[in-house]
């Protein structure tokens, strides 16, 4: 029985119905079967943007069967006759029809025939205690509750298209609900307070720090992947249907000018860093930093002195660039001039080759100098005598990861085969964890490893043990102060006083504010 709900991925994406994905971004582990077991699916995508594929539907059915639940299709075969109910296809087609329930809705009794919140909580705990198979045995097989009602305990409302169907018709849905809950990391009850957080900092020796755009915004670097803020607002004039297309590899290959019209705005300029980068460096200096997984491509961690061996740039960086045609690689600086001008940088290797081919076809038959440079056969072949198409050099693409591209191998390798075993604390800073597969990191770490979240607003799709809310520079400077650590940074005033207030109703949620700010 897998610990995670496994959805395999198709060639370059994602496979879950939009409704499910939009609700559960951090709970799915993506596997790429061709790469063998135990590898994170590493193609980058914004969670919630693709359709379920047949392959995944079969997997869901298998999952249901293995739990002793009956897949929907068997109900159809057994004569359950309903035009609307077309088995698994419905789950992918009926986007709006399956409704996910928030705990507040369950608490307020807004769903007829649903579990109470107390019952729901008890069922969830029980599932985590005994596992999926035993849980199904205890409930559905012993008929202590209907599948239809049990779905509500896990936040799935009975869909209208199943109304009037036999209870078995809800089994597949329940399998999804259980897997969804089971892959959710339960909060560790023993960690709640600021003191707990400080103690964890003191005691931990192998800390994973997962960072996002929020740690660079205080330096004026736009949060360019989030939709409603930052760079995207500058993109209206480009006439894209979705501003995210700027970072879509297919769009880039079709028209690189779109990307290069904004690339100068995200190109790292000065050697500066924020107090949060300084905090990561401090963890390194104290021998506590296992790995900083950063989603940022600004390479600012390096400016702060975080050593390259401690950083995984999950989405690549501008440090190098590669020709889309011949894969010729250069240092990032080599194209920065063109990029800053807003021009498209072209490959010099391609240019040289084209020039050489040009000379050849003019009958000059000049031999290549004997420096032994390897030539790309395909490119050479394409310019034979009958081909009048003017050969063009390839575009140099900065080695940042675009949507639809694979993440650097190092990401999954290091996380799954090294860090997962060693980590004793996870600190997530300045990211809303919306982009997979980085968003899956908290779910991959063993569940007994405490996790702290530092950002302006809490996330709802992943449960952290302690949420420290506010400006992340302020949070880390106060944490350091309380830990008795000296986090020096010109952006932190010497006399800074920080107020911490608890969030009502949450034992483990705290808001940090600079006094007088
Ligand atoms: Zn090239």
If you measure from the C-alpha of residue 110 to the centroid of ligand 1, how many angstroms do you get, rounded to a whole number? 61
**Least confident residue range of 91-95, 198-202, 475-479:** 91-95
Distance, CA of 20 to CA of 22 (rounded, Å): 5
514 pLDDT above the threshold of 60: yes
**Least confident residue range of 157-166, 312-321, 376-385, 456-465:** 376-385
pLDDT band at 310 (very low <50, low <70, confident <90, very high): very high
**pLDDT score at 46:** 55
If you measure from the C-alpha of residue 261 to the centroid of ligand 1, how many angstroms do you get, rounded to a whole number? 21
502 pLDDT above the threshold of 90: yes
If you measure from the C-alpha of residue 235 to the centroid of ligand 1, how many angstroms do you get, rounded to a whole number? 29
Which H or E run includes 127? helix 117-130
305 pLDDT above the threshold of 80: yes
Of 504, 444, 428, 511, residue with least CA distance to 475 = 511
**pLDDT score at 233:** 63
Q: Is 314 annotated as a binding residue?
A: no
Q: Tell which wins on pLDDT, 413 or 233.
A: 413
If you measure from the C-alpha of residue 368 to the centroid of ligand 1, how many angstroms do you get, rounded to a whole number? 17
Distance, CA of 32 to CA of 45 (rounded, Å): 14
Note the pLDDT tens digit of each residue in 84-138. Answer: 333 333 333 333 356 777 777 888 888 888 999 889 889 988 998 888 889 999 9
If you measure from the C-alpha of residue 322 to the centroid of ligand 1, how many angstroms do you get, rounded to a whole number? 8
**pLDDT score at 441:** 85
Instruction: Please state, in angstroms and as integers, the Cα–Cα distance from residue 371 to each residue in 101, 353, 375, 438, following that order.
Output: 67, 13, 12, 43
Distance, CA of 114 to CA of 156 (rounded, Å): 10
Residues designated catalytic = 315
Q: Is 350 annotated as a binding residue?
A: yes
80 pLDDT above the threshold of 50: no
Q: Are 479 and 468 in contact (CB under 8 A)?
A: yes
What does the pLDDT average to over 508-514? Answer: 95
**pLDDT score at 428:** 97
Place of tokens 């900092």: 201
If you measure from the C-alpha of residue 327 to the centroid of ligand 1, how many angstroms do you get, rounded to a whole number? 6
440 pLDDT above the threshold of 80: no
What does the pLDDT average to over 150-162? Answer: 86
Q: Is 472 annotated as a binding residue?
A: no
Note the pLDDT tens digit of each residue in 352-379. Answer: 999 988 777 665 544 444 444 444 444 4
**In this structure, are strands 207-211 and 425-429 parallel, antiparallel, or unpaired?**
parallel
**pLDDT score at 237:** 65
9 pLDDT above the threshold of 90: no
Map residue 395 onto helix, strand or coil: strand
If you measure from the C-alpha of residue 312 to the centroid of ligand 1, how many angstroms do you get, rounded to a whole number? 27
Instruction: Please state, in angstroms and as integers, the Cα–Cα distance from residue 515 to each residue in 193, 474, 499, 501, following that order.
Output: 20, 11, 6, 12
Q: Tell which wins on pLDDT, 367 or 402.
A: 402
**Highest-confidence range of 276-290, 317-331, 456-470, by mean pLDDT?**
276-290
If you measure from the C-alpha of residue 376 to the centroid of ligand 1, how many angstroms do you get, rounded to a whole number? 9
Distance, CA of 204 to CA of 289 (rounded, Å): 9
Average pLDDT, the chain: 77
Q: Tell which wins on pLDDT, 2 or 262.
A: 262
What does the pLDDT average to over 165-176? Answer: 85
């Amino acid at each position: 029985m897998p610990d995670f709900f496994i959805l395999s991925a198709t060639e370059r994406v994602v496979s879950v119905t939009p409704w499910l994905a939009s609700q559960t971004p951090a709970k799915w582990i993506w596997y790429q079967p061709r790469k063998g077991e135990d590898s994170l699916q590493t193609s980058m995508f914004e969670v919630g943007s693709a359709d379920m594929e047949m392959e995944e539907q079969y997997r869901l059915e298998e999952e249901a069967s293995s739990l002793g639940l009956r897949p929907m299709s068997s109900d159809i075969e057994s004569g359950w006759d309903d035009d609307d109910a077309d088995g698994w296809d419905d789950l992918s087609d009926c986007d709006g029809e399956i409704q996910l329930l928030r705990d507040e809705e369950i608490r307020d009794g807004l769903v007829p025939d649903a579990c109470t919140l107390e019952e729901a909580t008890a069922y969830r705990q029980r599932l985590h205690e005994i596992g999926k198979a035993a849980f199904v045995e205890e409930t559905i097989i012993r008929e202590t509750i209907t599948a239809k009602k049990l779905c509500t305990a896990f936040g799935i409302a009975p869909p209208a298209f199943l109304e009037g169907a036999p209870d078995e018709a809800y089994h597949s849905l329940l399998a999804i609900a259980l897997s969804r809950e089971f892959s959710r990391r339960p909060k560790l009850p023993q960690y709640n307070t600021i003191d707990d957080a400080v103690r964890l900092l003191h005691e931990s020796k192998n800390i994973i720090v997962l960072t996002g755009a929020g740690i660079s915004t205080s330096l004026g670097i736009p949060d360019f992947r989030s939709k409603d803020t930052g760079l995207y607002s500058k993109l209206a004039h480009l006439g894209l249907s979705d501003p995210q297309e700027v970072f879509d590899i297919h769009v880039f290959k079709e028209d690189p000018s779109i990307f290069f019209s904004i690339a100068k705005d995200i190109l790292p300029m000065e050697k500066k860093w924020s107090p949060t980068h300084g905090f990561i460096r401090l963890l390194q200096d104290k021998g506590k930093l296992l790995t900083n997984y950063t989603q940022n491509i600004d390479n600012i961690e390096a400016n702060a002195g975080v050593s390259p061996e401690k950083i995984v740039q999950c989405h690549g960086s501008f440090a190098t660039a590669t020709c889309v045609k011949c894969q010729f690689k250069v240092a990032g600086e080599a194209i920065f001039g063109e990029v800053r001008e807003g021009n498209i940088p072209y490959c010099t290797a391609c240019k040289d080759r084209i020039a050489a081919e040009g000379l050849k076809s003019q009958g000059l038959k000049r031999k290549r100098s004997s420096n032994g440079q390897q030539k790309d056969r395909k490119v050479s072949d394409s310019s034979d005598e009958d081909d009048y198409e003017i050969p063009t050099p390839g575009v140099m693409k900065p080695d940042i990861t675009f949507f639809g591209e694979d993440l650097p191998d190092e990401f999954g390798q290091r996380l799954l085969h090294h860090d997962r075993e060693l980590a004793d604390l996870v600190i997530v800073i300045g990211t809303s964890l919306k982009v997979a597969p980085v968003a899956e990191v908290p779910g991959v770490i063993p569940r007994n490893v405490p996790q702290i979240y530092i950002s302006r607003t809490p996330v709802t799709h992943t449960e952290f043990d302690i949420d420290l809310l506010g400006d992340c520079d302020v949070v880390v400077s106060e944490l350091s102060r309380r830990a008795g650590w000296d986090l020096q940074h010109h952006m932190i005033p010497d006399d800074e006083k920080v107020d911490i207030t608890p969030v009502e109703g949450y034992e483990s949620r705290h808001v940090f504010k600079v006094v007088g700010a």
